[in-house]
Amino acid sequence: YPPFASTWLVSLGFGEPLGIAYVAAALEQSGRHQVDILDGVGTVKSLSNVEVGQLNWIGVTHDEVMQRMADLEFDVIGISMSRTSAIDPLTETLIRRIKTAYPDVPVIAGGPEASHFWHRYIQNPDIDYIVIGEGEKTMVDLLDALEGRGSVADVKGIAWRGDDGKAVKTPDQDIVDIDSIPWPARHLLPLRSYIDNRPSTDVPAATILTSRACPFSCAFCSTIHIWGRKWRGRSAVDVVDEMEFLVRTYGVKEIRIQDDNFCVDRKRVHRICDLILERGLDIRLHVDPGVMSMLADRDLLTKLRRVGMVSLNMQLETGCEKTQAYVNKKIDLDHMRAMVRCSHELGMAVTTNIILGFPYETKADMEESVRTAIEIGFDNIGFNWLDPRENTRVWHDFIAAGIFGADDHIQVPVPTLYCSADEVRAMRVWAIEEFERNKSAPALGKTVILAGEDIRHEDTHCYTIRIEGSGVVADCSDLPWRSPARLYENDRLLGPAHAQHVYIRT
């Protein structure tokens, strides 16, 4: 039940809760358990302002949850706790109401937030068990034990309170063969609410997970506490089978991949793309968490473009070389520039994210980071404050520097060793304004209309136009008459304000 989100997240829309749908599918596959999902977001699309700081209330209210639960029969209650659902005490208020109404029914918490802060949440007397990390096998084993088929103490990957009230944690769950896990139980979700109502796209869209974990070790990343360090990719055939199921069954036109690191195995990505083409799936593809530039090359980007990728997020996080070394980001800025340029030539928009406020960052470091990102030529940049997650390296470094304590409630933005919280906050405002100023550079003041015979048709359905004698190159992809194109001059990307004066006849 994730009822809270920022207004910015609301504007992007929500994807299906794949985590609980995967757990539900595993329980159904066992043949020993029946499952219902009460999806607090997908059931009702609404937005209400409540007194929870910067957050907004999304979906059903606590009263509606209690009313709907009264119509169900159940022996166990599971609650998936996301980052935004657990950021405010109101979520634990709901758990208190549930436990008061059903005191003899075990309450099991899981999800990213419960896994990450299990040692805190297990102190809540209204939570009986916490499933830590991947939940499919663990949840089946735990419910079997609660029904008398085994001992709870033998279930891996859980925490509970012992007779003395102290937390007990079992060893981590064994890594499960990812291809043995059934597809998410989407039939238990109000799926059309997600497919047809996603503000970030104009076509029916669904989300999919093709791999788990990330083999890299960025100082700010906490996914290791959910997925572990070992990257595991589903087989290309299984991935495309699920894509085809979504297309044929629900009329999906866009697949949004949620992997932390989709391109770790480039041969697998090529095979996925080949199968999409072989099966004639007419879709758009998007990798929401982004693509690492170091894993990209022209062949890979060309293949992704052929299967319908029209935009991608290329993960930069920081453009300051000193901060890159600290964060352990393996980025070759020249290669990233080349990959952004290549993406533009193929007709794909490229976005990135910049994180501001690492422990050792100065104002000059943050300015360098922002200016580098702008210079690279991204079509859009999201500027975010660092949110230190517990047990990440940045979290430990903040504590070592005396900026906050291990038990403190962290309020972002966090001050650095050299900047106050207000200064970090102001840097984000400056970064956004700086990006907008660069996008609004003076236009060329020249409209160019080219006839079809002047256009060179690439295999990728991208059109590259060279304006003789001017050093200017415009490119577009599958764009209708009088659509804007990107414009380059001497290999430098000109801003969208330039591009709006260039039109292509195809």
Instruction: Of 17-21, 39-43, 113-117, give the lowest mean pLDDT range.
Output: 39-43
Q: What is the DSSP letter of 309?
A: B
pLDDT value of residue 54: 54
Residue 362 has pLDDT above 70, yes or no: yes
More confident residue, 503 or 58: 58
- 498: pLDDT confidence band, cut at 50, 70 and 90? very low
Q: What span, in angstroms and rounded, lies between the C-alpha atoms of 6 and 76?
A: 31
HSE, CB side, 13 Å, CA atoms: give it for residue 296. 29
pTM value is: 0.83
Give the whole-number percent of the chain exceeding pLDDT 70. Answer: 79
Q: Who contacts 268 (Cβ-Cβ below 8 Å, separation ≥6)?
A: 233, 235, 236
pLDDT value of residue 347: 87
Residue type at 135?
A: G
Class of domain 179-439: alpha beta
Q: Which long-range contacts (CB under 8 A, 24 or more apart) does 280-283 make?
A: 281/240, 281/243, 281/244, 281/247, 281/307, 282/247, 282/253, 282/308, 283/243, 283/247, 283/252, 283/253, 283/254, 283/255, 283/307, 283/308
More confident residue, 96 or 467: 96
pLDDT in tens, 426-475: 999 999 999 988 874 433 323 333 333 333 333 333 334 444 334 444 44
CATH superfamily of 4-169: Cobalamin-binding domain (3.40.50.280)
Q: What span, in angstroms and rounded, lies between the C-alpha atoms of 387 and 197?
A: 29
- 223: pLDDT confidence band, cut at 50, 70 and 90? confident
Q: What span, in angstroms and rounded, lies between the C-alpha atoms of 80 and 40?
A: 11
Q: What span, in angstroms and rounded, lies between the C-alpha atoms of 401 and 51?
A: 32
Residue type at 489?
A: E
Residue 200 has pLDDT above 80, yes or no: no
> Which tokens sit at 479?
């764009």
- 84: pLDDT confidence band, cut at 50, 70 and 90? low
- Across the range 199-206, mean pLDDT stands at 84
pLDDT value of residue 91: 78
Residue 56 pairs in a beta bridge with: 5, 49
pLDDT value of residue 13: 56
- Write out the residue limits of the CATH 3.80.30.20 domain(s) in the chain: 179-439
pLDDT value of residue 9: 45
Residue type at 490?
A: N
Q: What span, in angstroms and rounded, lies between the C-alpha atoms of 350 and 310?
A: 9
Instruction: Of 71-75, 94-98, 111-115, 317-321, give the lowest mean pLDDT range.
Output: 111-115
Helix 421-439 and helix 363-376, axial crossing angle in degrees, nearest 10: 20
- 43: pLDDT confidence band, cut at 50, 70 and 90? confident
Strands (E), 295-393: 311-313, 349-356, 380-385
Q: What span, in angstroms and rounded, lies between the C-alpha atoms of 437 and 430?
A: 10
- 224: pLDDT confidence band, cut at 50, 70 and 90? confident
pLDDT value of residue 57: 65
Residue 46 has pLDDT above 60, yes or no: no
Mean residue pLDDT across the chain:
83
- Write out the residue limits of the CATH 3.40.50.280 domain(s) in the chain: 4-169
**Peptide bond just before 480 cis, omega within 30 deg:** no
pLDDT value of residue 50: 53
pLDDT value of residue 92: 83
Residue 277 has pLDDT above 90, yes or no: yes
- 93: pLDDT confidence band, cut at 50, 70 and 90? confident
Q: What span, in angstroms and rounded, lies between the C-alpha atoms of 179 and 93?
A: 38
pLDDT in tens, 379-421: 999 999 999 988 899 999 999 999 999 888 788 999 999 999 9
Give the whole-number percent of the chain exceeding pLDDT 90. Answer: 64
